[in-house]
Structure 1
């Protein structure tokens, strides 16, 4: 399928932190906030966003990802911080009511957004089912201790690519692309990996390095517990649609682990492809399904506003 419109790139200054944003469509279209997954960026929607005719798709790079700035060294990366950032993005763009289209970790951010605002008209999760990284209830203290020790070790090392110092810089583009493909999704095609990597690569005098903050690979010192992640899912009151890849992250039993936490109004569908099925080759059926959902709840929202 061919894209219908070209992307526009912007920078938003939110309390001194610059957030990079990519948008598609007319600003008076159906507002859609598109949230990418862990170590991805706004390019995650480069193939789906342009196909959503009549929509104003806003895809930010989460702080620390892609072309957005990093957090201060005395700060970190928590899902609820990302959620606060995304709510601030929506407010700064004047999106009082909007839809959420969230992939992977973005669905965890979306589950927190749902608890922070009543301004969400509908949510669509793309191979995501809430917070992806959780900790057992009886392991929180030990997890905090381990995360703190690792953070101290990293600070002392002063290595930009501390997780894998030998691969923090790349002599050529192809080497970087291969690492991105293997790290995020081993089934990801070279073309799809290229879209994500090009937005996240910084050219050097010799070679390339990643733009994203290397601290993103560190564990959150105080992540959500599985019970909390499930409770956030169950408390989503707006219309909720979950779309999974048949070879994605939830295909081998993962869906069943959280199925009971879904609210009764949630609707589930399965689609060809893996974890990044929306990026690999969004087919007409997927695009039409997303558009029907957005139109259905946008129209309902307008009718409710008139009645109120």
Structure 2
């Protein structure tokens, strides 16, 4: 399979509050899949699927602070719920003829898509989740410590921001670091890293927003997530990796109570199975969508 990024069309989408970058694979006369990537990834993570899902047009966005999209203004802490507003604004901005036949989300992208669809089922036709299920939650007793940790990490960030350079001689240093951390194939690490870095006269540096790596100030309690996810109306396919996050597999009984129409499939692969096992994942997606169509 060709692992180059040259077949996609680069576009920008101006939302009322921020400008997003995106990649388009496929022609406009095909059903659109809106693809939402995971934390610290970018639109390039859907390149492997685009090589197989040729009956569809795929629009893969860069979330704010990722890839080529604008960063959120200011220096305030980031919060996951901001992405729900981004998605709502994006769906509003897309013309009627370009409304997606499905929303596809991996990891963070799946969390956002699932939460958004639970709240606004009338705006989503079908939902495909890859290694994602619902918003993350934790015990209420951790609220104070999380808020404390978040603000401390942001104070440290502001203190060192001006002194921080983080320039590498070439992209291979960052690629190898990601490969060692995630065990993701080096070729895929390079594709992801290329879009998250910028070239300088002295080398390369990160383009992504450094605040993405800082502690979030707040996480929902289980009771809040449970209330949001109850009676999830939209037809949903959940694809898990056989070596993916074990917490997701153990949460299937809860998910069966939340989702009115949920199909679960396991595919050989890790958390990034949509890259390393793209052919099998695309087969599951295509089967699911054509059965619903």
Cα contact 1:111–1:232 (8 A) shared by 2:
no
1:102 to 94, 100, 105: 105
Aligned to 1:255: 249
Distance 1:2 1:209 in 2: 27
Query: Which of these residues, 139, 150, 154, is aligned with residue 153 of structure 2?
Result: 150
Partner of 1:291: 286
Query: In the comparison of the two structures, how many residue pairs are matched?
Result: 286
Residue of structure 2 equivalent to 1:66 = 67
CA distance in 1, matches of 2:196, 2:253: 34
State the 1:235 CA deviation. Answer: 3.9
Per-residue displacement from partner, 1:151-186 (whole Å, max 9, x unpaired)? Answer: 12222322575xxx7xx3212221110122344x2x
Kept after mapping to 1: 8 A contact 2:268/2:277:
no
28-37 or 233-242: bigger deviation: 233-242
What residue ranges of structure 2 are gaps of 5+ in the alignment? none
Q: Distance in 1 between matches of 2:253 and 2:2?
A: 35
Query: Quick one: structure 1 residues 146 and 261, their matched pair in 2 at CA, closer, same or farther if it must change by over 3 Å?
Result: same
Unaligned 5+ segments in structure 1 are 300-308
Write the deviation string for residues 93-131 of structure 1: whole angstroms up to 9, x where unpaired: 224453111111111101222113512111111122223
Superposed, 1:224-243 pairs within 5 Å as 224-243=220-239
Counterpart secondary structure, 1:223:
coil
- Cα deviation code 1:20-50 (max 9, x no counterpart): 0011112232121101001000011011023
Match of 1:172 among 147, 170, 173: 170
- Measure the CA separation in 2 of the matches of 1:249 and 1:189: 18
Aligned partners of 1:47 and 1:278 also within 8 Å: yes
Evaluate the alpha carbon distance shift between residue 200 and residue 74 of structure 1 in structure 2; reply closer, same or farther with a 3 A threshold.
Answer: closer
Residues 63-92 of structure 1 deviation map (CA, whole Å, 9 limit, x = unaligned): 011111111124443222112112222222
Distance change in 2, residues 1:130/1:181 (3 Å):
farther
Matched, 1:221 2:217: yes
Alpha-carbon contact 2:273-2:281 (below 8 Å) kept:
no
Separation (CA, whole Å) in 2 of partners of 1:58 and 1:254: 26
Contact 1:234 1:261 in 2 (8 A): no
Is the counterpart of residue 278 in structure 1 residue 282 in structure 2?
A: no
Partner of 2:142: 139
Counterpart check, 1:91 vs 2:92: yes
**What's the RMSD between the two structures over aligned residues?**
2.2
Residue 97 and residue 41 in structure 1: after superposition, are their counterparts in 2 closer, same or farther (change >3 A)?
Answer: closer
Q: Indicate the SS of the match to 1:63.
A: coil
What is the TM-score of this pair, normalised by structure 1? 0.85
Structure 1 counterpart of 2:120: 116
